[in-house]
Structure 1
Amino acid sequence: MSNADIITLPKLLSKIPEVITHLPGLIKGSKLTKITDTSKPLGLGVAIERATSMNPNGAAVIYEDTELTYKQFNAWANRLADYLASIGLKKGDTIAVNIENRPELLATVVACAKLGVCAALINTSQRGKVLIHSFNLVKPKAAIIGEELVDAVEEVRGDLDLKDNFFCFADQNTLDNPGDVPSGYKNLASESRDCSSENPASTKQTFLRDPLFYIYTSGTTGLPKAVVFNHGRWEKAYGAFGFSALHLTKNDRIYTTLPFYHATGMVICWSSVIAPAGAVVLARKFSASGFWDDIRRHNCTAFGYVGELCRYLHEQPEKPTDKDNKIHTIVGNGLRPSIWKDFKDRFGIERVAELYASSEGNVAFTNIFNFDNTVGFSPVSYAIVKYDKERDEPVRDSKGHMTKVGKGEAGLMLGEITDKTPFDGYTDPEKTEKSIYRDVFTKGDAWFNTGDMMRDIGFRHAQFVDRLGDTFRWKGENVSTTEVEQILDGYDGIQESVVYGVEIPNTNGRAGMAQIRLTGNHKDFDFKGLCEYLKRELPAYAIPVFLRINEEAMETTGTFKHQKNKLKEQKYDLKQQNNAVYALLPGESCYQQLDEATQDGIDGGKYRF
């Protein structure tokens, strides 16, 4: 960290004129972030109806050649809600939703929100055992599948607890033409076509603690957890980003390539334009080469990002048209300090609304004051405490209490659990309790363990440092080491595995690496078969990039935990080990044994991971 990143009083005071300009929005946003009234109707459905009344003929959702006004989009969601209610779905029920980024996904989620039905937002890259787990975990009463994901569902359908009520949207503009769907699925577009377009009364029956959707997170261990994201949390994000942080208007358009099964896209990006009744512009997939052409085509003024996205854009060859865009604001998390200022300058970006939050967490930071190299400011109660990495636990004093770090120091980020900042937890109560520290500073207090190392840079601002525990971040996704270990251990010929994240120079996050012990010699092992197996069972971002072959028993601590710190330090460096190392290089379909020349190429940026 540079000392230049420390927030001083003169730096803070220099931002006051800009803050005063946006004071009405900041005040309104602040009130929404602190809302505790459990009797006031609120949430996504209420906000969409508000935006529709504000700007009925303004663009709401744009996708490829489709542009829907708020009036059209709201009416579509109402028809879907009316149909789902007609088949008996009601407040408190859950529906599994597995659709890629397109208007059908957003209309479905709003329809569920208006009914008080919880939409379980399945990660569209999930396959095999992980997909079965995610479906069955939330006990859905129905499933709504995009035609593009029917094959993935069909592979596991026999193992799903849900046996009927499978609906499908054809992979096309179903608002204009419902199209045809595969057998075994009801066509939701045609079934709902003649339903009521009027706002349902049930919209006004969603309150602070009512579930809005499940977002799946790998958390710190095991298979994905289904995190309850309620209407109150959505309302707080709507306040923080829609009114306080981004200052967008009804004329703004935010471009979003991030998957909407993640909170950054679904909650942060979308709520920031729903508040002023502006438009969200959806892209099905991210394309570094086509990104700016799409931005210009749709006259976008903002976009959402994760760190990898900005790095990919920055690595594209410079063009004279780099500043030929209307983007003034970007919002997301993970923009690396090493490219932060250069990225802003190259593309003419005025505001970076970097944020820190997690799907399950109760503490969030937002770069309201537009400083560089920070996740921003947090208005809620948090603490950054000293952490012993060797013992893998917070430092406690003689009284059993934790100690806060000083300015400029890094430690474990905790969020205080209060009425204003509740921790809603997971579907599993045991997993919920494991995420809470008690008696941290005083007897009886309770704090959520974010699992993240953060640096205190003053005036309630922080910098993200690293992720602790058994999860690492790669390609903008959290990867559970335990989950990948379970999949690896299930392959014939692998006796034992330990998974961890390692740094590759000039990349964001950590690439997956697994130390594996085989039943035979690695030269006789079926690496091609392993690759095919991993592609069936894991999303692409979770497949290990490196395999380290271990001929002996794994090294463990006295409590039988794998010694991951040493493995992370040695990573794939052949000079630090006698083990054979294999790498899955970009564009290749199988692992190949690493040699010094290839390692030098990886470290020198020859291969683009």
Structure 2
Amino acid sequence: MGRRVGGFVALDTDVVAESVRRLVATAQNGLEVLRYGGLDPGAPSSPHQVVERTSMYRLRRYFPNSDTASSGIPVVLVPPMMVSAEVYDVTRDAGAVGTLHEMGLDPWVVDFGSPDQEEGGWKRTLTDHILALDEVVDHVRSYTGRDVHLGGYSQGGMFCYQVAAYRRSRGIASLITFGSPVDTLAALPFGIPEILATRSADFLADHVFNRLSITGWMARTGFQLLDPVKTVRSRIDFLRQLHDREALLPREPQRRFLDDEGWVAWSGPAVAEVLRQFIAHNRMVSGGFVINDRAVTLADITCPVLAFVGEVDDIGQPLAVRGIRKAAPRAEVYEYTLRAGHFGLVVGTVASQQTWPAVGEWVQWREGIGDRPVGMATMAVPDPEADHGTGVSIASRVTHTVATLADVGTEVGKGVTDLAVGAVRGARGLTGEAVRALPRLARLGQIQPRTRISVGSLLSEVGRKNPHRECFIFEDRVYTFEAVNRRIDNVVLGLVDSGVRPAMHVGVLMDVRPSAMAAVAAISRIGAVSVLIPPGPDVAEAVRLGGVEKIVTDPENLDSAVATGLPALVLGGGDVRDLDVDPDADVVDLERLDISGVQLPGWYVPDPGLARELAFILFNGSGDTLSVRRVTNYRWALSAFGTATAASLGRGDTMYCLAPLHHSSGLLVSFGGALAGGARIALSRGLDPSQFSDEVHRYGVTVVTYTWSMMREVLDSPSLHIDAIHPIRLFIGSGMPPGLWRRTLERFEPARVLEFYASTEGNVVLANVSGAKIGSKGRPLPGSADVRLAAYDAATGRLVEDERGFVREAQDGEVGLLLGRPGPSASVLSTVMRGVFEAGDMWVSTDFLFRRDADGDYWLLDNRRAVIPTHHGPVFSQIVADVLDSIPRVDIAVAYGITVGGTDIAVAACTLRENKAPTAAEITAAFDAIPPDERPDLVHVVRDIPLGPSYRPSADALRERGLPTPTVRTWYLDPGTGTYKRFTKAVAAEWKAATAGTSTGAR
């Protein structure tokens, strides 16, 4: 470097010259960076032409004058909201459009611009972006005459999935995505707990991004802060090499893009929708996300998909990216895995050498002009456990960061990560349940007799807090709380103008439709009572029993309403229709009523209902057994909040309401539970098995409500095309037979069944929350009435008393009448029993008999008025039907009593699956589960068992036929051996002879 001369060091002139040169070069290059933001690499961008220009986008066609523009296969590339369109042309030689052009393809790029520089840009929504892409696909197809290969990076890939679902793959040859998450909650970036992410996303969507947008510098800073060490290191490296222009130039376009030029602003409404739909509610996977007020599902994607997966991508984590396999079960889904981070998938050495050549080969392969790309594999259904909860393996993380964290061992890291993931999952589940359950239970506990609570008030409350939240879906249209409350208020005006007043009993005779829900809510908002009338032959009797003064009906039930002679108010079916009715009938068409001049009277107070007041009248039974069930506002709230708690309903759920509102399951469980839990309601026009599968996917149904044997219609339908990949997590309802319960679990694994028992009066709610004991009604739900099981002698129909004259509590396994303690907000309409177990106590009877097992779970036996008296003792029809239904070959079953020669006997009837009858030995083994005296005398196979409006099997027609005809499919109980044997004509004759002249009393 220098030499010593007379005690001095003489510097080498070459060294000095080199130092000066480096200093001058550093100064020159630094000045250029300061003045222009970076060095000029001298490489021009790829030529392009803007062929379409709108306020939302500019559609670029690259290399417009080349041969590929006229003969190439169109590939349309979509950037994310926060990244500029230049991400696909950072360097002409190694960028996306240049590589694809060199491979003979026709590259197009969608440029959304920056919202801060576009008119109305800050108001852009997610729907605006999807509709823009929808237009783009049509434009490119029009220009080229060919279907489009649509590709997108990160959120741009999410846009591609969404528009393909919106179009149901029409005009799209294939989808290509790069680090685009689908199952966002399967692997959140940087290990964020799910409960934190969902709650934060909801909060930010509702309270921050409805007021705030993200500027370009905020997006850039946020991205750099995701890896601050790497950001600082890259800047230090840049400064250290500032003297070496030749070394910096190859990476200069990428550096300038990341440090400044590549970032654009985000509009607040669009960010809010993304957070709400795809993080808080994860509807890319479950389906039911909303585009242009229409419910959409990725399950409608049928074109082939290629997803690029970054092994060390902490933003589009592999497990989240691979969620497309679950979300789009009808598509061929492939993956291409690269050792790259999020940005490295599309820009840089790995992208230029692997990503874009593979994209070109994919397009050529799909078009039949090339071989399948090497390295591409069929995507398997992701396994969160195998992927350590993220999809980014520990080995990949350690390898990728070994230069920075050289002393981190793979096995140590794996052990720590597994422990952390397990802890987060456990805490996440417990915390999520507690966060949802505790406020609901606390609210129930605060309700007093004079507390204002009703259907109308709860709808108003949610509407005030979150007017733009989605309330329900019907026929693919999504309605917000704001729109629903506006509709309800308009119906209120029509009802008030038609003479409806508080406390008036107003009949509601309607099929499943949004207008039925609006009618019930409007009646509640006025403070009147909804009498929910089941369509059918019992309309007149229901009107009489319910004290109905006016009837709200839809066009389909108008004739039945008019036949009652009461004023009929027609709602639903749209305002463009003709009602063909007698001109002398008292009919008002609310849809055509001019409400613009209606003035609300002075007495009107919205939602005046108190907890103790009557809100609804429901009906049980039919014909001679039709009976009234009165429901107070508190009773409705108890079921609503109880259902939401037991089912852990949240805003990410969509509840499929198959039951009509005139059934307690529709009113109390579906409508009430969804409203109290914040879930969306998906309405269907009754049960249509042919639509079930499509609506489940399209609406993103996570919870399905049922009544009795309703699911049998779905499971037996040849149009059911639900496979192992579906969004349903829970079936909730009452009365499901055990055999059907098992079939439902097998067909919809891993979904559970949540079976309820709820007394309409008495505030008793039982729920089999765990689902472990099929057929059990479970245990009392927190917040419902205290329950006791009073010992009951079914033979005499009396409660069993102790030596002091009080009722004895039933022991485990003993028959008992279920009683509920009336609380401070309980119905004042119920018949109260006093001095039951001790002096001064008060109880309300449910009229149903149960047994309680040693674990505290309750098993329904029968309504005490439906017990079958026989010569060998009382037989409980419900438990007999459940036992028979548990035989795999049995479809549905009922039990009933008949009289033979003056003696009452119990008969069980069943239909078969696939016409395969059980054997006598199988029947005997099944009934070993209940005491001998409670077994039916006869079991026979029938062709059909009628179902009531709620899909409850009915024995009325079978009972009228009397003694079953002896056949090879009829068996009797041999009292001597306790086994079932074939019932022959000889045995039938012996029975009639032996029982002639004897009687055990009335059935």
Q: Could you state the TM-score of these two structures normalised by the residue count of structure 1?
A: 0.69
* Secondary structure in 2 matching 1:464: strand
Relative to structure 1, the CA distance from residue 345 to residue 287 in structure 2 (aligned partners, 3 Å threshold; closer, same or farther) is same
1:193-235, CA deviations, whole angstroms, 9 ceiling, x for partnerless residues? 547899x96234221122221111249x954333221212122
Q: Do the aligned partners of 1:331 and 1:354 also contact (CA within 8 Å) in 2?
A: yes
- State how 1:351-500 maps to structure 2 within 5 Å: 351-369=752-770, 371-373=772-774, 374-378=776-780, 379=782, 380-422=785-827, 424-425=829-830, 433=831, 436-458=832-854, 460-470=856-866
Shift of residue 258, structure 1, vs aligned partner: 1.1
User: Closer, same or farther in 2 for the Cα pair 1:422/1:120, shift >3 Å?
Assistant: closer
Report the CA distance between 1:274 and its aligned residue. 1.3
Describe the shift of the 1:459–1:579 C-alpha distance in structure 2 as closer, same or farther (beyond 3 A): closer
For 1:227, the equivalent position in structure 2 comes to 629
1:202 correspondence with 2:586: no
Alpha-carbon contact 2:792-2:817 (below 8 Å) kept: yes
Higher helix share: 2
Distance in 2 separating the partners of 1:144 and 1:516: 47
Shift of 1:290: 3.8
- Answer yes or no: is 1:121 the counterpart of 2:532: yes
Is 1:54–1:277's contact at 8 Å kept on the other side of the alignment? no
Aligned to 2:671: 270
| 1:208 and 1:231 in contact (8 A); partners too | yes
Q: How far 1:269 moved relative to its partner?
A: 1.0
Q: Is the 8 A contact 2:641 2:677 kept in 1?
A: no
Contact 2:894 2:955 in 1 (8 A): no
1:233-272 equivalence runs, <5 A: 233-242=635-644, 244-272=645-673
1:359, distance to aligned residue in structure 2 (A): 2.1
The aligned amino acid for 1:466 is D
How many angstroms apart in 2 are the aligned matches of 1:382 and 1:151? Answer: 44
User: Partner amino acid for 1:75?
Assistant: R
Confirm or deny that 1:329 pairs with 2:730.
yes
1:187 equivalent in alignment to 2:589: yes
How far apart are residue 81 of structure 1 and its match?
0.7
Counterpart amino acid of residue 268 in structure 1: V
- Whether the 8 Å CA contact 1:28–1:239 is kept in 2: the answer is no
Aligned residues of 2:790 and 2:817 also touching (Cα < 8 A): yes
C-alpha change, 1:407 and 1:325, in structure 2 (3 Å) is same
Pairwise CA distance, 1:574: 6.7
CA shift, 1:459, in A, is 5.8
Unaligned stretches of 5+ residues in structure 1: 1-14, 426-432, 473-499, 518-533, 552-565, 582-609
Does the alignment pair 1:146 with 2:548?
no
The C-alpha deviation readout for 1:562-587, integer Å capped at 9, x for no partner, is xxxx9xx99x9676645999xxxxxx
Alpha-carbon spacing, 1:197–1:310, altered in 2? closer, same or farther (3 Å): farther
Verify the 8 A CA contact 1:513 1:545 in the aligned structure 2.
Answer: no
For residues 462 and 983 of structure 2, the distance between their equivalents in structure 1, rounded to whole angstroms, comes to 55
Query: Highest Rg: 1 or 2?
Result: 2
CA contact (8 A) 2:612 2:633 kept: yes
Contact kept, 8 Å, 1:94 with 1:140, in 2: the verdict is: yes
Deviation at 1:167, TM superposition (A): 1.4
How far is the alpha carbon of 1:181 from its aligned partner? 5.4
Instruction: Check whether the contact 2:506–2:528 (CA below 8 A) recurs between aligned residues.
Output: yes
Task: Tell me if 1:296 matches 2:697.
Answer: yes
Describe the superposition over 1:2-53 as per-residue Cα deviations: whole angstroms up to 9, x where unpaired: xxxxxxxxxxxxx998555311322222223334423432111111112223
The code of the aligned residue for 1:545 comes to A
Instruction: Work out the CA distance in 1 between the residues paired with 2:631 and 2:487.
Output: 24
Give the alignment partner of residue 46 of structure 1, picking from 457, 463, 466. 457
Q: Which amino acid aligns with 2:706?
A: Y
Give, in whole Å, the separation in 1 of the partners of 2:720 and 2:624. Answer: 44
Q: State the one-letter code of the partner of 2:557.
A: L
Specify the SS of the correspondent of 2:660.
coil
Partner of 1:90: 501
Taking the aligned partners of 2:492 and 2:480, their CA distance within structure 1 comes to: 18
On the 8 A contact 1:548/1:579 being kept in 2, the answer is no
- TM-score where L is the length of structure 2: 0.44
RMSD: 4.2
Q: Secondary structure at the match of 2:709?
A: helix
1:77 and 2:480 correspond: no
Distance 1:289 1:574 in 2: 42
CA distance, structure 2, for counterparts of residue 549 and residue 296 of structure 1? 44
Q: CA deviation at 1:146?
A: 1.6
> CA separation of 1:342/1:101 partners in 2, compared to 1, >3 Å: closer, same or farther?
closer
Give the drift of 1:458. 4.9
Q: CA separation in 2, counterparts of 1:457 and 1:20? A: 31
Percent of aligned positions that are identical: 19
**Preserved CA contact (<8 Å) 2:708 2:952:** no
Tell whether 2:956 aligns with 1:544: yes
After TM superposition, give the deviation of residue 57 of structure 1 in Å.
2.5
Corresponding position: 1:287 with 2:688: yes
Do the aligned partners of residues 190 and 69 (structure 1) sit closer, same or farther apart at CA in structure 2, a change above 3 Å counting? same
The amino acid that maps onto 1:510 is: V
Q: After TM superposition, give the deviation of residue 401 of structure 1 in Å.
A: 2.2
Letter in 1 for 2:663: H
* Change over 3 Å in CA distance of 1:201–1:465 after alignment to 2: same
Given residue 519 of structure 2, which amino acid in structure 1 is its aligned partner?
T
Amino acid at match of 1:462: Y
Partner deviation per Cα, 1:73-113 (whole Å, 9 max, x = no partner): 11011011122223332211111110111111111000001
The offset of 1:71, in angstroms, is 1.2
Match of 1:105 among 513, 516, 530: 516
Partners in 1 of 2:494 and 2:520 — Cα distance? 14
Q: Please report how far the alpha carbon of residue 341 of structure 1 lies from its aligned counterpart in structure 2 after TM superposition.
A: 4.9
How far does residue 356 in structure 1 lie from its aligned partner after superposition?
Answer: 1.0
Does residue 510 of structure 1 match 2:894? yes
Is residue 691 of structure 2 the alignment partner of residue 310 of structure 1?
no
Q: Please, which of 432, 435, 455 is the counterpart of residue 24 of structure 1?
A: 435
In structure 1, distance between residues paired with 2:952 and 2:731: 26
Aligned residue type for 1:329: L
What per-residue deviation string (whole Å, max 9, x for no partner) do you get for residues 159-197 of structure 1?
Answer: x5x3xx321235x345xx465453422111111654789
